[in-house]
Each structure stands twice: as C-alpha cells, then as structure tokens.
Structure 1
C-alpha cells in the first residue's frame, strides 16, 4: 500500500521539477541572449544538444535493433555464430566521435579567444573600459573617466565593454547571463571579459563563485543606455565628483558625517572607498544589491544592523544611532540622484 502511494507522487515530483525552470528571476537566464557573447554561448548549447541528440538516437536505434533482431527465439538451441574483430566497424566508431568532437571544439575555442581578452587598456582603445572589484558582498566599478560606482554599472548599448576583473578578499565570479559567460575575480590576478548589450535595458548579474554566507545575495545590475544617454550620465557623475556634496538634505549630510558613514562610503569624490560609493544612491533599483530600495524601514534596518539582511558583510552595525539621525540620513541618501527621479531605466 505504501509503495503505491509513493509511486503516485512520482508524476507530481516530475511536474514540480519541470516547472522549477520557470521560477528563475526575470532576465537572469542564458536562454534569452541579449549580446554577442551570450548568443555564442546559446548557439554552442544548441550545437551540443544537437550532437548529443544525434549520438543518443544512433545508439538507441542500434540498441533496440540488436535487442529485437537478434533476440533468442523459440526453437533456438545453439548460440549464433560468434564474430570477433571487425576493422571497419572499429574504425567507424572511432572516427565518428573524433569528428563530433572537432565540430564542438572549433567554435568553442574561437569564441573563447574572442570574448576572453587581455586586460591591457591600450589594446581596447575603441571600447569602454571598466575595472570591476569583487568584495564581500558587493561590486565596485571604476571608470576610466575617474569616478566610481557601486552595485550598478552603466554601459553604452551596442558597443564593446571590457571589464577588468579583480577581487579584494576572496574569489568571486562576474556573471551576467543575458550578456555573456562568467569569469572569476581572483585576488592578485587580473582577468578580463568583453560584453556587449544588443539593446538598452537592465540586465541582472550575480556572483557565480561561492564566496561566503551571503554569496546568494551578491547581485548587481548592468544598465545599458543609448550612447547619448550614457555620455550624459558620465558627465553628470563627473560633475558630482568635482563639486562639494552638501547641497540637498543638509541635516542628513551632517548626520552622515557625524556617524562615520563617510569613512567608508565615498560621495561625490569625498570619503573613503572601503564600501560602495553612494554618489548615485537615489538612482539605484535595489538596496544591498537585492532588496527593495524604496522601503525606508528596510533601509533603516540595513543601517542599524546590516548583518540581519546580509550575513557576513563587512559593514559595521550602528545600533545606537538616533531615530532623528536615521531619518535624516535616509532623506539624504534619497537625494543622491544623477539621472533624476523622472528618468526611467
């Protein structure tokens, strides 16, 4: 009785397994390529599936043919003639796999060299060049123009962007599934990756290397803009970097300094860079890379006790900060906008 009940659960388990593929985050998939590198990966996946399907069909056809044609029949009293060694067949089943491996080998190697490039900036004069540093558990993006962004990286759509990949602490892995493959960020080692977004949009990225207890929350976003919008964004970031940042939410700015936030978070060129730069915090879509940025209470909880939301991160807690200062800091952070609230992604 128990065995029958267990077997009844098999179709349900199979259905849940198949539907689990529908539960992934939007735009966090390699099956909907939005760039040349991702398209190359997708095409190679299809090629591999085609080769495996061909091999599987041939093997199963031969298997069932042998099973039915040469099975023992009623009245058979002697074993069939035993044949050992068939040079033609041995050559055939050796040559065919070699041909199939060559079919997979050529596009894999050529594509690898095309998209995994040298990190020397002088070799990429016509491309946007961005340095990426992985931290526990956030991403730092340094632009050639001389400013820094955190958690969200802006790029021009339709153009090659070279990411120079490093890590500050442990091994991380930079991965934007819709745009390309993953490359490790290794302390003391510089890797590089070329990505190109076919069209403007927001592309989700993740760390693909187990880097600690909050590895699953180490997300980021790639925001691709039209070239004129991207140039305007760069100019706005540079303008903020060059001017003193105390124009809006003055009380919040003072609280930000008094509570030592400025000692870790650079804003407009001021402050340290041991934590994510907050110059355009008000433009961001997420808090800490994963949470709702519009939730003030969540933002306050993050400032008071970041470990409760992202275990193992290096941001110190501020349990004694007053409610008045906390409200002022939140207001100040909301005011840090470069693109403006009326501009949509």
Structure 2
C-alpha cells in the first residue's frame, strides 16, 4: 500500500512538472515570449481565453465544493430533500446570460485582431501595384524547404529569411507542391501556404526583442506535409533597417561581381557543381533554384538543410545521404558523385559567402564626408 501511494505521488509530481514545462521555451522560438506586434496581440488572446476558462472552471469547482460540503448526509440528515429549482426563471436567465457575456468578451477582440492582422492595404498602392515603400517577401514552401523572394529588390534566398525590425514586413505565401503553413512562433502567425492561391499577412519584429535573441528567430512549418514535416525549419535574421538595406546591397553586389572559388578544392568543386548541381540549384541571388534551394549565400547560413550544424563535415554527410537526414526529400538520388567530388563541392559551397565588408567601406566614406562637412560648417 505504501509503495502504491509513493508511486502515485511520483506520477502526480511528474504530471504537474510536465504542465509547467510545457510552457517553457526559448525567446527566439516561444509563442509565449512574443517579439513583435502580432505576437503580442495573439499572446493577449491566449491570456484572455485562458483567464475566462479559469474563471468558469474555478466558479464551477467552488460551487460544487460548497454544495457537497453543505449537503453532507452527516450534516443535513437522512430525510433532507434539497430545494427544487427546476424551471426557476431567474436562475435560467443568469446561467444563460453569463456565458453569452463571456463569449462576447472573447469574440470582440478575437474578431478585431483577426481582421487587423489580415489588413495588407499598405502592401499595395491605389492602382493595385506593390507599394515600393513596403518590404514585401514572396514565400514559396517546398517539401521540405523555404524560398524567399524580395519583391522590389529581386533578391532570392532560401532557408534563411532576413527582415528589418520595427516596421511591417508583408508576406505573400504560396505552396509549390502540397499545403504547408508558415509560422514564426515568436513573431506571430501562422498562415497556410496553398498551391491554388496566395495568402497575405504581415509581421512586425521588435528590435529590442530581436537584440535579446541575438537577432535570430526560428520558423517552422505548422501543417503536416510529409515524412520530414518536423524538419521543415527556417531561420529569421531580424536586423535594424540600415543593416537590412546593407544586406540587400551586398546581395546585389554579389550578383554583379559573382563568386570565384579561392582554394584549389573549391575551384574544382565549383566546376563539378556547375556540371552536376546547377540543374536544381542556383548560386545567383536573383534566380530561384529550378527544383532545389537557392545557394547564393550558403556559407553565411545558420544550418545545413535546416536541421544540421553548419560545418563542412555535416554538409558532406548531407550530400552523401540526404535521405537519412530528411526522408522523402527531392535531393535523394539526384546526384551521382563520388566521395572526392562531394568533398570538393562541399568546399566550394562553404565559400559561398556574401562580402559584408563592402558596406563597411561605404559607411566609412560617409562618416568621413560628414565629419569634413561638420568641420567646414564650424569654420
């Protein structure tokens, strides 16, 4: 008996801990630690709905407990007959009106916030064309990766989304094969990506929250889409507007100047890549991959295939046997390369980095010019 009670207490303790742990999460991944306007609104709805639920459950539990305690046989006797309230109009009005009021309290902010989040009027002008003053990202979901195209700049990347902070970022979502769902838990969402239509919405990334999260948030697919659905992740780099503009400029400069491999292995790998992999992948920032992700800035990315630590060893493992890492992916069986060729292609891909120093030179020039102007004004 004692052992049975000990086990019961243990399981009760584990259950309580599991409830609390279910609410734990990282700042860059948890919907309970919102990092933007939409996330905060959705968090408010979560708190509101849970508060109403707890109010109802608490009221019922207290009422039930009082009724049980007051109506104990030892207290009221064997012959006690409770007052019959069936058909009591006052009580019926009360327990009908209160739920209606609670539903209205929940419904009004829910409907208002839902329509507010779907308001993308700022994304287009009165003529119905894309507003050049807005940041618009066209998102295409594939099994099992993401492609991001910046509407006005023509820049295309994959797996790593780069956005400015403290302003609306508009998204046009579509699916390339099956239904997926675009979700950045910390910022807000989620919204389906359909094959037969485009869904649009916006998010705002708070700069202070982004800085606390080291400028990196995590995104996921929230719709079951196949065997590797759980591995269909992407990263979000939330940068101040100046750094975001500089990133776009670096990507465009990369397009103009191209990228030449440095090491001998990488040079051979580039040639192998051009002959074997170019049919599916692109390494220019203005072209989407025909069937696979755009690899322009692959060397700058956070993860390989969205799930592996970004290093050359993991990249070699991915190219050798992608099926063991992401089942049912489209890359399995696409390349017939030997081990030596794979290592050289990996060396080339790891060198695909956008030159971030060019922007620093321009900033330095502007700072010097500003300083000269100030000195001239003082004289």
Same fold, judged at TM 0.5 (above): yes
Aligned partner of residue 333 in structure 2, secondary structure: coil
Match of 1:138 among 145, 149, 173: 145
Work out the CA distance in 2 between the residues paired with 1:270 and 1:74. Answer: 82
Q: Is the 8 A contact 1:283 1:340 kept in 2?
A: no
Q: CA deviation at 1:26?
A: 5.5
Does structure 1 residue 315 correspond to structure 2 residue 311?
Answer: no
1:221 paired residue number: 235
Q: CA deviation at 1:84?
A: 2.9
- Tell me whether 272-281 or 248-257 shows the greater mean CA deviation: 248-257
Q: Is the 8 A contact 1:305 1:319 kept in 2?
A: no
2:277 paired residue number: 261
Alpha carbons of structure 1 residues 120 and 132: separation in structure 2 relative to 1, 3 Å:
farther
Q: Is the 8 A contact 1:264 1:271 kept in 2?
A: no
Match of 2:307 among 287, 290, 311: 290
Alpha carbons of structure 1 residues 81 and 146: separation in structure 2 relative to 1, 3 Å:
closer
Aligned partner of residue 278 in structure 2, secondary structure: helix
2:67 paired residue number: 66
2:269 paired residue number: 252
1:237 paired residue number: 251
Q: Structure 2 length normalisation: TM-score?
A: 0.82
1:279 paired residue number: 296
Q: CA deviation at 1:270?
A: 6.5
Alpha carbons of structure 1 residues 240 and 85: separation in structure 2 relative to 1, 3 Å:
same
1:203 paired residue number: 217
Aligned partner of residue 262 in structure 1, secondary structure: coil
- Residue by residue over 1:142-179, the C-alpha shift from the partner in whole angstroms, topping out at 9 and shown as x without a partner, is 11111210001101111100110100111100000000
- Tell me whether 265-274 or 173-182 shows the greater mean CA deviation: 265-274
Does structure 1 residue 335 correspond to structure 2 residue 337?
Answer: no
Work out the CA distance in 1 between the residues paired with 2:303 and 2:43. Answer: 29
Q: Structure 1 length normalisation: TM-score?
A: 0.90
Figure out how many residues of one structure are paired with residues of the other and give that number.
341
Alpha carbons of structure 1 residues 82 and 21: separation in structure 2 relative to 1, 3 Å:
closer
Aligned partner of residue 140 in structure 1, secondary structure: strand
Q: CA deviation at 1:75?
A: 4.3
Of Structure 1 and Structure 2, the greater helix share is in 2
Alpha carbons of structure 1 residues 323 and 75: separation in structure 2 relative to 1, 3 Å:
closer
Does structure 1 residue 101 correspond to structure 2 residue 117?
Answer: no
Alpha carbons of structure 1 residues 261 and 165: separation in structure 2 relative to 1, 3 Å:
same
2:174 paired residue number: 166
Work out the CA distance in 1 between the residues paired with 2:78 and 2:341. Answer: 94
1:148 paired residue number: 156
Which ranges in structure 2 are unaligned for 5 or more consecutive residues? 360-379
Q: CA deviation at 1:255?
A: 1.5
Q: CA deviation at 1:189?
A: 1.6
Q: Is the 8 A contact 1:33 1:179 kept in 2?
A: yes
Aligned partner of residue 173 in structure 2, secondary structure: strand
Q: CA deviation at 1:309?
A: 0.9
Does structure 1 residue 55 correspond to structure 2 residue 71?
Answer: no
Aligned partner of residue 263 in structure 1, secondary structure: coil
- Residue by residue over 1:231-268, the C-alpha shift from the partner in whole angstroms, topping out at 9 and shown as x without a partner, is 1111111122234443544222112112x111111111
Aligned partner of residue 203 in structure 1, secondary structure: strand
Work out the CA distance in 2 between the residues paired with 1:271 and 1:179. Answer: 26
